[in-house]
Structure 1
Amino acid sequence: MIDPLNDLRSVREATDRLLTAVAALDNAAVARSSRLPGWTLGHVLAHLSRNADALVNVLQGRPMYVSGEARNADIERDAPRPLAGQLDDLRESAARFQDAGSVPADWDRTVELRNGITDRAARVPFRRLIEVELHHVDLGIGYELEDLSKEFTQRETDFLAQRFRGAANVPPTRVRTTGGEWRTGGDEGPEVTVSGTPADVLGWLAGRREGAALEVSGGPLPVLPPL
């Protein structure tokens, strides 16, 4: 069961971990390459700040972004800032998101995200938690998929398995970890079974690992659509 208020607390805790880790860097680190192709650490940090404000827009009934072009331009604009500016923006945008989430509201209402995607408002805090946790990993500064909580890893694995469910270009796939079992992919063709540690499975589903450590039977490792 989705508990948006508990997820808001989890977002605050994850943001505190991120801020503490980033504060230990120096200005030169902002220009280092992150684990995301073409993005520096500054790009990742700028995206996290702008995503917080975008989800405030979602909660308050406005478009998430003015446009895809404006979203990208904002990230490029903010990426080169010194570390202190990045930290201030992360902290202040996170506070704005927490404030928006603390306003009494109908969590069962439908909200619109990017590219016409809709969801329940109650799932917005978890979506923000995904951004903070996975992009912390993407920074490559010592926080790994194995450091994520068991609860988060299971919920995000479930979230992504549902996302790829029905994808015609993905074969029927059974996903197994010590944390559970999921089915994803389309309905046509022989079933492929993918097994591994919770971190390795999540890394594959989230596009963070190629899947070399996974056990695959029934066919090759499925190629998943980009997130």
Structure 2
Amino acid sequence: MIEHVHDLDAVREATARLLAATAELDDVTVAEPSRLPGWSRGHVLAHLSRNAEALVNVLRGRPMYASSETRDSDIARDAPRPLADQLADLRATAALFEDAAAVPADWSRTVTLRNGVTDSASRVPFRRRVEVELHHVDLGVGYGLEDLPDEFTAREIDFLTERFAGHPDVVSTEVTTDDGRRWTTGGGAEGSPVVVRGTAPDLLGWLCGRRDGSALDVADGSPLPALPPL
């Protein structure tokens, strides 16, 4: 299956899981803190809705956000809404994204994301999938990194190790799962790479800033490499 088609199907499935979990909340619990510092669950849900609209902009060749300030103020504005409004917004913006992705287009074209980052249009569905899956975890409603589809976890590790590859502030690092899958990243220091080993969910959690890496094993007693913020 073509990758973006597969990812669009996966986005629908992930969104359905997210909506089902969110529907179990109420107006009190949606206002409670999420796992993201300084954000309530309402902030996470508002961000997901605004992100869907932003990726529609990307697919249509418009700026992703009017500005960083507008992005942040829109999330702050929408975070306190009651659960029914959050759910309606999530459903409506998910449909907008799906409709925009259904328009015949050249999926090999280059698109511009936030802060001038460019990528292939074919990767936009996976970027949306990342938002939905990881922020579902951030809600703190019983869906953890271990619950993520294995295929998604491996691909997100691919994405993040690629993102840090050659980064001057990340030492050369080999990331290895307990079942033997390996990635290399970093490259800001000479010498043999630091070998970091653990379960795929623990490695993903460390790479994406959701876990501190204390469950990982670092070969030769080396310190765990420091990672820049995403």
1:217, distance to aligned residue in structure 2 (A):
1.7
Q: Which residue, 177, 196, 201 being the options, matches 1:199?
A: 201
Could you state the TM-score of these two structures normalised by the residue count of structure 1? 0.98
1:188 maps to a residue whose letter is A
Q: CA RMSD in A?
A: 1.1
Structure 1 outlier segments of 4+, above 4 Å: none
Task: State the distance in 1 between where 2:174 and 2:11 align.
Answer: 30
1:147, distance to aligned residue in structure 2 (A):
0.4
1:188, distance to aligned residue in structure 2 (A):
2.1
Task: State the distance in 1 between where 2:188 and 2:210 align.
Answer: 25
Q: Secondary structure at the match of 1:18?
A: helix
List gaps (5 residues or longer) in structure 2: none
Q: Which residue, 184, 203, 224 being the options, matches 1:221?
A: 224
1:123, distance to aligned residue in structure 2 (A):
0.1
Give the aligned partner of residue 189 of structure 2. 188
1:213 maps to a residue whose letter is A
Give the aligned partner of residue 174 of structure 1. 174
Could you state the TM-score of these two structures normalised by the residue count of structure 2? 0.97
- Please say if 1:21 is aligned against 2:15: no
Length, aligned pairs only: 227
Give the aligned partner of residue 154 of structure 2. 154
- Please say if 1:129 is aligned against 2:132: no
1:183 maps to a residue whose letter is T
1:17, distance to aligned residue in structure 2 (A):
0.3
1:186, distance to aligned residue in structure 2 (A):
1.4
Task: State the distance in 1 between where 2:16 and 2:55 align.
Answer: 18
Task: State the distance in 2 between where 1:166 and 1:2 align.
Answer: 29
List gaps (5 residues or longer) in structure 1: none
Give the aligned partner of residue 41 of structure 2. 41
The percentage of counterpart residues that share the same residue type is: 66
1:189, distance to aligned residue in structure 2 (A):
2.7
1:105 maps to a residue whose letter is A
Task: State the distance in 1 between where 2:95 and 2:117 align.
Answer: 25
